[in-house]
């Protein structure tokens, strides 16, 4: 029987196949995930509305599939398999199956095929399917001599990521005669970023392809200009230190990012032209009366930009809670499609990695983005000419020059800086915090 791709979300008519979660010849139960698909940078699993045996798959990873297109064929449960391909697959599985194992008196397992008594390790003939992992991960594991069946995967549905190999690298003893060799440096980042594997080719699939398409569109369509300014965060650093423990007791992790988002929301209200998307077809600038701010999150499979809705109406604690939720979903590979749409401005931070200045690419069709660097302590002169220590940061703005003139972009940056240098205003209701 044919299985067509069912509707996967409101307004979604086409998706990209990321990977199959079942193989021909495999028995599946109702509700079991058949495939992983992607749309708008969000991945989702398509469950089986049937129980039966898969007899064939009709699409390859990377294919674009329209809703209603037949993607898989199956035999319903209880119905005799008449398909020659299904029979052939079953015969192949039987032929490839290991010989039965019998226990020897010494507790070892041995093969019963051909009367051999050769010791066999149970894990070598496990009936469990191989762990889910990308080809690059499997390649690196082979080079390092790591058995993936002993690796705990932290990706979606237990998928093994590059960083999951790190603890096993640390456990591997040095080879004999290698005592004077330089220690192996663990190049797998703790952040979960995928740095790739030398000597391999990686197909542009799934999220990576979406990022490539989106960034190319943004750079081709938008005449960017960048504006960079310095901001004294000394008072904000002090305020966050005072509030961090109190917020923590309430279960809220307080970073600097909620303050940046709140300051951006206040500035968007004062400079409405920046809270805008450009409708190229109609040649219209659409100024929004909602303040939905995207935050760039570096996930294992690539960059995603989930959106904080109504950032102007949320207090700092609510924004911090929402940032945690959105970031955790993104890093786990489970961002919701509705969280990735409809942003009116974006904030991206490189400070956690260590950068001072960036020139971020605008999230098309928005007209502005703010990049946040790391906080550094430096000596500065105060108004009286005396030196004092200060916590400084660079803010990097990119604007669409078709919509935002240089003077307007500078004015927007000044409003953001004004709020960040007077952080108590960000904790007050808007009517008191201007």
Q: Which residues are catalytic?
A: 401, 405
Specify whether the backbone of 279 is left (phi greater than 0), alpha (psi in -120 to 50) or beta.
beta
């Amino acid at each position: 029987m044919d299985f067509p791709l069912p509707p996967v979300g409101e307004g979604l008519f086409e998706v990209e196949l990321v990977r199959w979660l079942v193989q021909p010849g495999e028995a599946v139960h109702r509700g079991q995930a058949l495939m992983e698909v992607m749309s708008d940078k969000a991945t989702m699993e398509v469950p089986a509305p049937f129980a039966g045996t898969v007899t064939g798959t009709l699409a390859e990873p990377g294919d674009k599939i329209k809703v209603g297109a037949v993607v898989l064929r199956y035999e319903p449960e209880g119905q005799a398999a008449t398909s020659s391909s299904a029979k052939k697959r079953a015969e192949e599985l039987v032929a490839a199956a290991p010989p039965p194992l019998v226990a020897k008196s010494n507790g070892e397992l041995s093969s019963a095929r051909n009367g051999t008594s050769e010791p066999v390790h149970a894990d070598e003939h496990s009936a469990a399917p191989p762990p889910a992992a990308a080809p690059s991960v499997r390649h690196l594991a082979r080079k390092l001599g790591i058995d993936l069946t002993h690796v705990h995967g932290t990706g979606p549905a237990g998928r093994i990521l590059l960083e999951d190999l790190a603890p096993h690298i640390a456990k591997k003893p040095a080879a004999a005669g290698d005592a004077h060799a330089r220690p192996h440096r663990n190049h797998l980042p703790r952040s979960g970023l995928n740095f790739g594997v030398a000597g391999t080719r990686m197909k542009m699939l799934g999220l990576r392809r979406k990022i490539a398409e989106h960034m190319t569109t943004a750079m081709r369509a938008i005449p960017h200009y960048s504006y960079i300014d310095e901001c004294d965060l000394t008072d904000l650093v002090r305020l966050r230190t005072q509030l961090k423990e109190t917020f923590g007791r309430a279960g809220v992790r307080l970073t600097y990012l909620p303050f940046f988002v709140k300051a951006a929301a206040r500035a968007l209200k004062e400079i409405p032209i920046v809270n805008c998307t450009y409708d190229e077809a109609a040649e219209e600038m659409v100024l929004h009366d909602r303040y939905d701010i995207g935050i760039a999150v570096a996930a294992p499979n690539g960059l995603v930009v989930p959106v904080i809705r109504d950032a102007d109406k949320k207090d700092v604690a609510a924004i911090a809670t929402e940032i945690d939720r959105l970031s955790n979903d993104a890093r786990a590979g489970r961002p919701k499609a509705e969280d990735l749409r409809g942003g009116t401005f974006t904030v991206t931070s490189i400070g956690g990695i260590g950068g001072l200045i960036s020139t971020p690419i605008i999230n098309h069709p928005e007209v502005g983005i703010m990049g946040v660097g790391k906080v550094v302590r430096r000596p500065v002169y105060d108004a009286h000419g005396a030196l004092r220590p200060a916590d400084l940061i660079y803010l990097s703005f990119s604007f669409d020059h078709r919509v935002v003139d240089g003077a307007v972009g500078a004015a927007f940056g000044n409003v953001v800086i004004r709020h960040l240098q007077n952080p108590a205003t960000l904790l007050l209701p808007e009517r008191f915090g201007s």
